[in-house]
Amino acid sequence: MLITFSCPAYASITLFGDVGLKLIKLMGHSGTVPGALLADDLPAALAHLQAAVAADSSQDEDSPGVAETTAEEPAVSLSHRALPLLELLEAAVAQHCNVMWDSGS
């Protein structure tokens, strides 16, 4: 499953379903797809996601080697996965518009 996030203030972004659901829940939403956040609720959702990313980053710094996997490819951190969504949310807050997401499958 893929989840596409959209708002008039930013280009649509598509994330893998598991990553998208995790980020939706970190924003303080129930995790339902499709879903939306009203413009008035976006600053709080952005703050929740930024706090979760910051907490995850500090946790990774405290325990080096946690990001390494047994596979040949390195793990992708939460901060890297969340970056496009954070930018979308920041643009939506700046232009006071709603954010919607839907399943691409």
Instruction: In whole angstroms, give the CA distance from residue 105 to residue 94.
Output: 30
The edge-to-edge listing of strands for the beta sheet with 35-37 is: 10-16, 2-7, 99-103, 35-37
Percent of the chain past pLDDT 90, that is, above it, reads: 72
Q: Which of 41, 53, 38 is nearest to 85 (CA)?
A: 53
Percent of the chain past pLDDT 70, that is, above it, reads: 87
> CB 38: neighbour CB atoms within 10 A?
11
pLDDT tens-digit series, residues 57-84? 777 554 554 445 555 777 888 889 999 9
What predicted TM-score, i.e. pTM, was given to this entire model? 0.83
